[in-house]
Amino acid sequence: MLTITITSLSGGQGKTTTALFLGRLLSRQGFPTLMLDSDPQHNLTTYLGFELEPNQPTLLEFLKKTVTPEDCIYPTSYNDNLFLIPADDQLDTVQDYLSNSGVGATLLKRRLEAVAKIFKVCIIDAPPQRSQICLTVIGAADYLVIPAEASVKGYGSLVRTLDLLGGLRDVGATNAEVLGVLPFRDRWFGNTQAQESRAAVEGMRDEVDAGLVLPSIRESERYKQAINKRATLSELGYTDLEYPFEILIEKIGKLIGSK
């Protein structure tokens, strides 16, 4: 199983949007796909149509191992290949458990070994803060995708995320490599890119190998439409808007093939 964490150290950077479309596209290509919601705000869980009762197992129980791993994995209504380990707002209570365990950075990686034979790929939606949950989802990753708004704030979010990754690698808390940086909400007026967007994307190219900066996700209501209609962009006829995800899917497909 190839594990990819979608992370960026601020809210509103496109993490959940990216995770959701990657999950839909990978599962539609026939890969058994596990999605994991690690944000106590649980937007991914909601977008996938789940309204959980307080007693239903989630990532909290998966991490604490209080039930079997399979009990925390739910089939989704999107297709037969897409599954979810959901979150709810109780997930915040796992922070102390992770820090007291002494092995917080490797705990999720260890837990995922139990299901690694069932799935080809695991897509993890990370929380926006630098927290114990954030460390364990980066520790579990083979690769990271870092979405970052094409703005001053987004550029800052990328820089902080790369700093964190560097620090974690230094102490052996992760081996994750950056698979791509995905500029989010890139604004264009006709054929002209907004100045702030252009400056931010240029800044991103200076922070990582320029080849790692993926084609942008344009500012557009159509992404939200697709999320709400539980569809992919191409299913709604917006194939051109899907291009950044297609490039990513191609990279991921090759990595799955070589694993």
Ligand X SMILES: Nc1ncnc2c1ncn2[C@@H]1O[C@H](COP(=O)(O)OP(=O)(O)O)[C@@H](O)[C@H]1O
Q: Choose the contact partner of 50 out of Mg ion, ligand X, none; CB within 5 to 8 A by kind.
A: none
**Residue 66 carries which DSSP code?**
S
Q: Which is nearer to ligand X, 57 or 86 (CB)?
A: 86
Closest CA to 166 of 132, 131, 129, 207: 207
Convert residues 33-72 into a mask of x (bound to Mg ion by CB under 5 A) and - (unbound): ----------x-----------------------------
In angstroms, rounded to a whole number, what is the distance separating the alpha carbons of residues 152 and 10?
12
Q: What CA–CA distance (Å, rounded) separates 209 from 225?
A: 33
Nearer to Mg ion, 51 or 209 (CB): 51
- The distance of closest approach from Cβ of residue 252 to ligand X in the complex, given in angstroms and rounded to an integer, is 18
**24: its two tokens:** 């839909």
Binding mask 70-99 for Mg ion (x = CB under 5 A): ------------------------------
Closest CB to ligand X among residues 196, 219: 219
Q: Which of 104, 144, 98 is nearest to 125 (CA)?
A: 144
- The nearer residue to ligand X, 32 or 156, going by C-beta atoms, is 156
Q: Name the pairing type of β-strands 143-149 and 2-6.
A: parallel
**Per CB under 5 A, does 16 bind Mg ion?**
yes
* Binding site partner of 185, from Mg ion, ligand X, none, Cβ cut-off 5-8 A by kind: ligand X
Summarize as ranges the residues that interact with ligand X (CB under 6 A): 8, 11-17, 43, 128, 185, 217-220, 223-224, 227
3, 7, 14, 15: which one contacts Mg ion (CB under 5 A)?
A: 15
Q: Is 3 in the site for Mg ion (CB under 5 A)?
A: no
Which one-letter DSSP state was computed for residue 85? E
Tokens of 86: 């959901």
Query: What backbone phi and psi angles, to 5 degrees, belong to 186?
Result: -70, 125
Decide whether 139 or 154 has the Cβ nearer to ligand X.
Answer: 154
Return the bridge partners of 193, or none.
188
Contact 139, 105 (CB under 8 A): yes
Residues forming contacts to Mg ion in the complex (CB under 5 A) are 15-16, 43
